[in-house]
């Protein structure tokens, strides 16, 4: 179920496959899900600014969407684990943000569409 959205500076060199694998594993260690249920989308951003723009830092903003019902402690632990994975996987100075958001169980739907 988890959906991971990784917005990042376009010029930031990321091992997307490796990073996604480490994020998926970290998530399964905190909430009741499997690696197979995790989905990550990387969205390079053409432009970014940190502060007054002089630091030269890259930007990485991650949103982890999970079904509602986890405790505040679980969500905080998930945030900490995702942040640790990012810090270990990014070799250059970067402004990193992580947000865990909950999806409403009554209205959220996900399907594997086979195509036409």
Radius of gyration in angstroms for the set of CA atoms belonging to the chain, rounded to a whole number:
15
What CA–CA distance (Å, rounded) separates 84 from 65? Answer: 18
pLDDT for 1: 85
Please name every residue paired with 45 in a beta bridge, in sequence order, or none if there are none: 9
What CA–CA distance (Å, rounded) separates 72 from 12? Answer: 32
Residue 72 has pLDDT above 90, yes or no: yes
pLDDT for 43: 97
pLDDT in tens, 73-110: 999 999 999 999 999 999 999 999 999 999 999 999 98
The better pLDDT of the pair 53, 65 is held by 65
């Amino acid at each position: 179920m988890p959906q991971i959205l990784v917005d990042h500076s376009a010029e930031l060199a990321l091992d997307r496959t490796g990073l996604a694998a480490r994020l998926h594993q970290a998530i399964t260690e905190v909430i009741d899900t499997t690696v197979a249920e995790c989905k990550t989308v990387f969205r390079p951003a053409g432009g970014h600014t940190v502060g007054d723009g002089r630091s030269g830092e890259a930007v990485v903003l991650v949103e982890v969407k999970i079904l509602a019902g986890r405790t505040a402690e679980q969500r905080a632990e998930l945030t900490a684990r995702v942040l640790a994975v990012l810090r270990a996987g990014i070799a250059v100075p970067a402004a990193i943000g992580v947000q865990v958001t909950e999806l409403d169980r009554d209205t959220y739907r996900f399907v594997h569409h086979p195509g036409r």
